[in-house]
A and B are shown apart, each in its own frame.
Chain A
Amino acid sequence: MSNKIKPSEEQLEYATILQKVGLGGLGILIVSFIVYVFEVLPTTIPINEIPRLWGLRVDEFIEKTGMPTGWHWVPLLHNGDMVSFLGIVILAAASLICFLAILPTFIKKKDTPFVVIVAIQIIILLLAASGIISGGD
């Protein structure tokens, strides 16, 4: 890009946060997976059982294994398989974190249409993450 052209302040802010959260999430994803597969911590579902059951639909899989849905994995974080959800959740939350960070910039600039768009986007992602509109319990 030519030196004369600079992306907007909020675009650069978004990029910086996205990079940090994305890299952090990927790092945690890999490390937590190593913890899981090398069985450094105990697991809620024996790892060698999973290949026998992953051909089932998700509802049947949960019924047979008792795997937690929604946010019920959080109290079980002392287990290796639940730790591996940390990286996944950070990756899924990356956009939400970026939107929360750039909302004040749009407010400061009095950019009303984008304040509204970003605010609604935050609400949608929060509702999805909470399970309220995404069917988690």
Chain B
Amino acid sequence: MSRRLRILLSAFIVIAATLFLGSIGYCEETAAVAAGQGSAVAWWMWPIILFVFTFFLGILAVVAGVGGGVLFVPIVSSFFPFNLDFVRGAGLLVALSGALSAGPGLLRRGLANLRLALPMALIASTFSIFGAMVGLALPTNVVQAALGGTIIMIVIIMATARRSDFPDVKKADTLSSVLRISGIYYEESQGKEINWQIHRTPLGLSLFILIGFMAGMFGLGAGWANVPVLNLLLGAPLKISVATSVFLLSITDSAAAWVYVNKGAVLPLIAVPSVAGMMLGTRIGVRVLAKAKPKAVKWIVVSILFLAGLRALLKGLGIWR
């Protein structure tokens, strides 16, 4: 691991630990405020702390190859004193902003594919609305426990899922043929054009019901689920799958974001510093990535994610307050 990355990672862990201890103290402080005493923390400190925290989170997300959206909700809800409703609202905006920034370039380069994305997006976005509504209606401890369980499942998927650069799709299925979902892109590493097509489209579409629902319910980006379905199940090449997944998020998350906005679960004081910090962090992360050894960082970040998931699960079950 490079020296610079070691410093960044150490800084992130120190900030996270400080916030974790601070959030415990904050609970006591909230009680004091309710009892009519004043707050010791100036309000303007929070956006700054959140900006710095999400800036480091953005760097680590890129270096570890993990979506920023999936890191944001479990980690911020573990370390900050915000209600999970507002963290999920902000999480959707974080994932949405990242997808909106990357989407146009990926579409222009032909890596994200509109015909592949649109049918999946229709299903995922519809169910993300229902997921968001259910998530905001259920008691916090239930959502928290379900979030914890989901995050642990995501960690297992990240640790075990294999990927296929060029899956072998011998024959396109009927639905994808009718919808003309296929394409061609230039593979720079091989210096040649790659033709691709997909199969098992109905099964893939039905999985996007679940993916959309979970994205909306937990305010997570869904790249961790989109990519395996597009790549391993449908048989799209890995690059097409990753790029189309990012583009898909811009549609899925925007549908769910409306629910959070309409319900008042998006607080600009939380959402905007998070979006700004994460976007700046991911830009710096791309530069750090050139010099870093991502594998070690990936495992550290996945471990932090696992701990955040475990904490959410135990908190939801009332075991760890």
Contacts and interface: CB of A to CB of B under 8 A. Distances in A.
Contacts of A26: 97, 100-101, 275, 279
26 contacts: A4-B193, A5-B110, A5-B186, A7-B109, A7-B110, A11-B110, A11-B114, A14-B107, A15-B107, A18-B250, A48-B42, A52-B39, A54-B86, A57-B85, A61-B83, A85-B266, A85-B268, A88-B271, A95-B251, A114-B118, A117-B118, A117-B122, A121-B122, A124-B122, A136-B261, A136-B263
Contacts of B86: 54, 58, 61
Contacts of A133: 129
B259 A135 contact: yes
Interface string A110-132: 00011001101100110011010
Interface size class of chain A, counting residues whose CB lies under 8 Å from the partner chain = 35 or more
A47 B46 CA distance: 11
Given A29-B272, A68-B264, A125-B258, A113 B179 contact: yes
A118 B269 CA distance: 34
Contact of B254 (A10, A36, A94): A94
B55 to A, nearest CB: 14
A50 interface: yes
Interface size class of B (residues with CB under 8 A): 35 or more
B267 A54 contact: yes
B25 to A, nearest CB: 13
Given A58-B263, A69-B264, A129 B272 contact: no
Nearest to A133: B129
A37 to B, nearest CB: 7
Contact of B263 (A7, A120, A135): A135
B209 interface: no
A12 B268 contact: no
Interface in B267-281: 267-273, 275-276, 279
A89 interface: yes
A59 B75 CA distance: 23
Interface string A53-73: 011111001100001111100
B108 A50 contact: no
Interface of B: 26-27, 30, 33, 39, 41-44, 46-47, 81-83, 85-86, 93, 96-97, 100-101, 103-105, 107-111, 113-115, 118-119, 121-122, 125-126, 129, 132-133, 136, 140, 178-179, 184-186, 193, 250-251, 254-255, 257-259, 261-273, 275-276, 279
- Going nearest first, the 7 A-B pairs with the smallest beta carbon separation are A136-B262, A22-B100, A2-B186, A19-B104, A15-B107, A84-B268, A128-B258
B254 A125 contact: yes
Contacts of B27: 55
Contacts of A136: 258-259, 261-263
A7 B184 CA distance: 9
B255 A128 contact: yes
Contacts, number: 201
- Secondary structure type dominating chain A contacts: helix
B43 A47 contact: yes
B114 A70 contact: no
A131 B255 CA distance: 11
Given A25-B100, A135-B259, A58 B109 contact: no
B254 A95 contact: yes
A134 B41 contact: no
Given A1-B186, A57-B83, A117-B118, A22 B101 contact: yes
A125 B100 contact: no
Nearest to B279: A26
B194 to A, nearest CB: 10
A116 B227 CA distance: 25
B125 A5 contact: no
A107 interface: no
A69 B258 CA distance: 11
Given A50-B269, A88-B266, 5 more contacts: A15-B108, A48-B43, A54-B81, A57-B85, A113-B178
A98 B103 CA distance: 12
